[in-house]
Amino acid sequence: MRGTLLYIGQRLVLIAVTTVLVSSIVFLLLHQIPGNAFLNETRQTPQALAAELHRYGLDLPLQSQYVNWVQGVLHGNLGESLVNRQVKITPLLVRETSVSATVGFFALLVTVGLGLLLGVVAALRQNTWIDYLASSTAVVGYSIPSFVIAIFGLLVFGHYLYLWTQGTFYYVPGWGKLEQIPVPALALGLPYASYVARLTRASMLETIRTDYVRTAWAKGLKARVVVVRHALRNALIPVVTILGPLITGIITGSVVIENIFGIPGLGKEFVTSILARDYNIVIGVFTFYAALVGLANLTVDVIYPILDPRIRY
Amino acid sequence: MQDLKVQFFVSGGTVNAVDGVSFEIDRGEIVGIVGESGSGKTMTALSLLRLIPEPGRITNGRILYGEKDVAQMTDEEIREFRGNEIAMIFQDPMTSLNPVLRIGFQVEEAMIAHQRFSNKQAKERVVPMLQRVRIPAAKDRVRDYPHQFSGGMRQRAMIAMGVSNEPSLLIADEPTTALDVTVQASIIELIRDLSRELRASVILITHNMALVASLCNRVIVMYAGRIVEQGPTRAIFKNPQHPYTWSLLRSMPRVDEKEKERLISIKGLPPDLGKMPPGCKFHPRCKFRVDRCFTEEPPLDEVDPGQRARCWVLMKNIANPEAQAQT
């Protein structure tokens, strides 16, 4: 137990270091992009521009800007938006993260739930039509990129089924209704669900042939107990291993999905802020992403020894 | 068990892993099944619990346990039967225990599955069970995982699981093959003592003739999915009638015999179960074969009271087997 806590502590420090490194690199690269946040302002004079640049400290040498920015971050202040004046970035990003996290959570639910279900059923019914159906569905699902599924979902639920759905699923302007979640969550989760299904099937096929599963049958345990407690529990170990990269994939995948569905989350901000050269937001978004990926991977690594007692930190 | 036949349906035809095997086991009896790898001894044992792996199937025969036929049981009946009436101990204790569950729990769930004990009783019985199979410091070790146990300890845990429901028949499939020689003796002793205490019968599957001699009342010798000889241990060891049994015994070094006597090895390999030779299945490797062996398969006939052998020649009709075998 102490070992585990120590391990988590070390990992948290590493995540912090990574996050700082990522944001620094982004900071340096970002200022190499031509243009600035004020190019779209109407009636702009050179004097006005210079005044704006000065107001936000953008006329200072890069290293001074960096020092200023780091000082802000250390106080938990990521600055304010350059495009939408007076908007504080920290609360903005927190709000957007919670929107993205909601969609991401349901996408993960789709990924793990559907993936495990398909994988286990296919393995238990190996070489029957159920297996072939599940396996080929998985191959198709894995081969189609999520943005294609997203557009397909828009067409089906928003257009073809408009009479039935009345646009409930996403067409209503604004965000915040529960009905708006399923379609984007499916689009985001399906490709990964297919991946999980394929992995689970292979892993289950391996475990149901092991000696200890035969022992479980020989003990006279109920089929459900043998499959879930003895076979699936062991089959999950390799599946959990890929869950880390998978969550990362869902987080980055949200950039595309949120733009297609117009979800006001971190992923949408990612794109709009770069296009607007809203320096502070861009760096903030990247910083959040870096921390999120790190924390997701840490969570997976903490679950791992619970599943497999042979692993200890 | 009557006329058991286990067939594997593989691409390119069917393979008879077990073909026409019949035997019976009395209460409290310890029976050894011996034979080379692939002789069908493990499949015979697995079919007693209907645990034949895919694509295998029991295609013929009856497996009578008292009045009930194992081959005809419903899924729920066979589930209730496994581990309760007949328990099995497998060859490799390293892989036969679930690596992610605690030892104590694996023993406990075997008891809970059959509701012979309440959940609470089952929980309380775990430590005594582990003590009974002579696991030292059992109280501290119930919460261990299999990887914290040594091979011998794991096999003891397997045995604890097996006997926890006090079955009337215990099948031990090469229980000591994967273990150190020093541990082997204590495991065998444990199986013998427990079978006495529980008045349970034991089927010991092995290719170790010495083990059979020290433990079993009766021996069944299998070759290529068939029984080639069976009888009381003493008779089989003293007067083996089938050339295969005879060669098996002569291939084993003995301390009490003159050093000059050479060990006899059985030339060749057991036949491919998919391409079985005609006639007696052992004739390609037999030193004592006659013309008839090439074409006709001998029946399993009684050669002495209680002893049966599947051979046209029989060893008692051969004057000087040692000399003939050396040629």
pLDDT digits (tens, 9 = 90+) for A130-171: 889 988 888 888 888 888 988 888 888 877 777 776 666 655
Chain B residues within an 8 Å CB radius of A123: none
Q: To the nearest whole angstrom, how far is the Cα of B43 from the nearest Cα of chain A? A: 13
Q: Is the CB of A224 inside 8 Å of chain B's CB atoms?
A: no
Tokens 């459900």 appear where? Answer: A224
One digit per residue, pLDDT tens: chain A, 313 residues?
Answer: 678 889 899 999 999 899 888 888 988 888 887 777 676 666 667 777 787 777 777 777 888 888 888 887 777 777 777 777 777 888 888 888 888 888 889 999 999 999 999 999 999 888 889 889 988 888 888 888 888 988 888 888 877 777 776 666 655 556 767 777 888 888 899 999 999 999 999 999 999 999 999 999 999 888 899 999 999 999 999 898 888 888 888 888 888 888 888 888 888 888 888 888 888 888 888 888 888 888 888 988 888 888 888 887 7
Q: Is the CB of B183 inside 8 Å of chain A's CB atoms?
A: no
- Looking at residue A94, its pLDDT comes to 85
> Which residues, 6+ apart, have CB-to-CB distance to A128 below 8 Å?
none
Residue in A with minimal Cα distance to B113 = A221
Average pLDDT estimate for B184-200:
89
CB contact under 8 A, A217 and B95: no
Q: Is the CB of B113 inside 8 Å of chain A's CB atoms?
A: yes
B17 close to B10: Cβ distance less than 8 angstroms: no
Chain A residues within an 8 Å CB radius of B82: 217-220
CB contact under 8 A, B83 and A220: yes
Rounded Cα distance between A200 and A205, Å, is: 8
Count how many pairs of residues, chain A against chain B, have C-beta atoms within 8 Å: 81
CB contact under 8 A, A221 and B79: yes
User: Tokens standing for B165?
Assistant: 């429901």
CB contact under 8 A, A219 and B82: yes
Q: To the nearest whole angstrom, how far is the Cα of B27 from the nearest Cα of chain A? A: 21
Q: Which of B153, B145, B156, B154 is nearest to A233 (CA)?
A: B145
- Looking at residue A114, its pLDDT comes to 92
Exposure b/e, B35-73, CB count within 10 A at least 16 = b: beebbbbbbbbbbbbbbbeeebebebbebebeeeebbeb
Average pLDDT estimate for B299-305:
82
The size of chain B, in residues, is 327
Measure CA A224 to chain center. Answer: 33
Tens of pLDDT, residues B134-190: 888 888 898 899 999 988 899 999 999 988 888 888 999 888 887 888 888 888 889
Chain A residues within an 8 Å CB radius of B45: none
B162 close to B194: Cβ distance less than 8 angstroms: no
CB contact under 8 A, B49 and A222: no
Chain A residues within an 8 Å CB radius of B80: 220
Q: Quote the radius of gyration of chain A (alpha carbons, Å).
A: 24
CB contact under 8 A, B90 and A214: yes
Interface test with B, best of A210, A215, A234, A306 (most B CBs within 10 A): A215
Interface test with A, best of B75, B98, B101, B165 (most A CBs within 10 A): B98
Q: To the nearest whole angstrom, how far is the Cα of B194 from the nearest Cα of chain A? A: 18
Chain B residues within an 8 Å CB radius of A212: 95-99
Q: Where are the alpha helices (DSSP H) in chain A?
A: 2-30, 46-55, 62-74, 89-109, 115-124, 129-143, 146-153, 162-165, 182-207, 211-218, 223-225, 233-261, 266-275, 279-307
- Looking at residue B72, its pLDDT comes to 81
Residue in A with minimal Cα distance to B91 = A211
Residue in B with minimal Cα distance to A232 = B100
Q: To the nearest whole angstrom, how far is the Cα of A225 from the nearest Cα of chain B? A: 10
Residue in B with minimal Cα distance to A207 = B98
The per-residue pLDDT of chain B, averaged, comes to 83
Q: Which of A196, A182, A185, A227 is nearest to A114 (CA)?
A: A196
Q: How confident is the model at residue B68 (pLDDT cuts 50, 70, 90)?
A: confident
Q: Which of A212, A221, A234 sits opposite B96 (nearest CB)?
A: A212
Please give the backbone phi and psi of residue B302, each rounded to the nearest 5 degrees, phi first: -70, 130
Provide the CB-side half-sphere exposure for A306 (13 A, CA).
Answer: 6
CB contact under 8 A, B145 and A309: yes
Q: To the nearest whole angstrom, how far is the Cα of A14 from the nearest Cα of chain B? A: 30
Provide the CB-side half-sphere exposure for A54 (13 A, CA).
Answer: 6
Chain B residues within an 8 Å CB radius of A209: 53
Q: Over 60: is that where the pLDDT of B260 sits?
A: no
Residue in A with minimal Cα distance to B90 = A215
Q: Is the CB of A303 inside 8 Å of chain B's CB atoms?
A: no
Q: To the nearest whole angstrom, how far is the Cα of B129 from the nearest Cα of chain A? A: 15
Tens of pLDDT, residues A34-60: 777 676 666 667 777 787 777 777 777
What's the angle, vertex CA B83, arms to CA B82 and CA B87, rounded to 5?
105
Beta strands B218-223 and B201-206, pairing class = unpaired
Average pLDDT estimate for B235-254:
83
- Looking at residue A115, its pLDDT comes to 92
Q: Is the CB of B95 inside 8 Å of chain A's CB atoms?
A: yes
Rounded Cα distance between B65 and A86, Å, is: 85
- Which of the residue ranges B30-34, B58-62, B227-231 would you say has the lowest mean pLDDT? B58-62
Question: Does the model's pTM come out above 0.90?
Answer: no
Chain B residues within an 8 Å CB radius of A223: 75, 79
Q: Is the CB of B259 inside 8 Å of chain A's CB atoms?
A: no
Chain A residues within an 8 Å CB radius of B98: 212, 215-216, 230, 233-234
Q: Is the CB of B126 inside 8 Å of chain A's CB atoms?
A: no
Chain B residues within an 8 Å CB radius of A220: 79-84, 110, 113-114
Burial classification of residue B24, based on how many CB atoms lie within 10 Å of its CB (0-12 exposed, 13-18 middle, 19 or more buried): exposed
